[in-house]
Amino acid sequence: MAAPQKNVNIADINSQPPGGESLPLDIMGLFFFAYRDFTGDADAMLERQGFGRAHHRVLYFVNLRPGMPVADLLDILKITKQSLARVLRQLIDNGYIEQKTGHADRRQRLLHATDKGRQLFATLSATQASRITDAIAALPPESRKVVTRFLVGMVDPADRMVLDRLNLTVGL
């Protein structure tokens, strides 16, 4: 009878948790490095403006869906009204976003990127889009769909309808 395997380092311990099931540590590690590099260039540009990732997320969705109500943005970002209010105030005060009242419901606040906001969004997105395009171009032809399906699969099922509303699952 073979002796049970002894863990010799922390990697051995992490790769085989109690019960023997294997964790996808390779994919988890790759996610870390991919996310770090994906956000790195944008983070540096945002920091020069006195902004952070929350500002980038708001700019992204407001540019993706001009006229988006604040309530929808809160639902997508899953942050508090207070957190969003601080970020929005900075973006509005610095001329990147403007807020308009709703036509049907005057209590509704609709968000629009200004020319300055669209330009910053385009600049932030350029390096990220290039990184994605280059990575997918190095894969077989149907890989974009596979990558998209994989990422959709990572999203909480309750939020998948939001992906459809934002047209993020087109072509699946």
Range of the domain at 155: 141-172
Tell whether 5 is covered by a domain: no
Same domain assignment for residues 52 and 101? yes
- At residue 127, the pLDDT reads 93
- Residue 103 is predicted with a pLDDT of 82
What digits encode the pLDDT tens for the residues 7-40?
A: 555 555 455 555 556 889 999 999 999 999 999 9
For residues 47 and 132, state if they share a domain.
Answer: yes
Residue 56 confidence (pLDDT) above 90: yes
Residues 34 and 92 in one domain: yes
- Is residue 41 scored above 60 in pLDDT? yes
- Number of structural domains, the chain? 2
Cα separation, 134 vs 119, whole angstroms: 23
Evaluate whether residue 94 is within a structural domain.
yes
Residue identified by tokens 């407001």 is: 62
In terms of domains, do 147 and 75 share one?
no
The answer as to whether 12 is a domain residue is no
**Where does the pLDDT of residue 170 fall: very low under 50, low under 70, confident under 90, or very high at 90 and above?**
confident
> What is the pLDDT, as a whole number, of residue 77?
95
Widest distance between CA atoms in the chain = 77
Regarding whether 56 and 97 lie in a shared domain, the answer is yes
123 and 163 share one domain: no
Let me know whether 133 and 83 are in one domain.
yes
In a domain, 132, yes or no: yes
pTM above 0.85, yes or no: no
In-domain check, residue 76: yes
Using CA atoms, how far residue 29 sits from 13, 32, 33, 80, 139, in Å, is 16, 5, 6, 29, 20
> Looking at the domain assignment, is residue 40 inside a domain?
yes
Residues 159 and 126 in one domain: no
Residue 46 clears pLDDT 80, i.e. is over it: yes
- Residue-wise pLDDT tens digits, 70-92: 999 999 999 999 999 999 999 99
**Within a domain: 161:** yes
Query: Are 156 and 82 in the same domain?
Result: no
Same domain, 150 and 172: yes
* Nearest CA-CA partner of 42 in 63, 23, 57, 25: 57
**108-160 pLDDT tens trace:** 899 999 999 999 999 999 999 999 999 999 999 999 999 999 999 999 999 99
Query: 29 lies in a domain?
Result: yes
Q: Which residues are CB-contacts of 60 (< 8 A; sequence separation ≥ 6)?
A: 121, 125
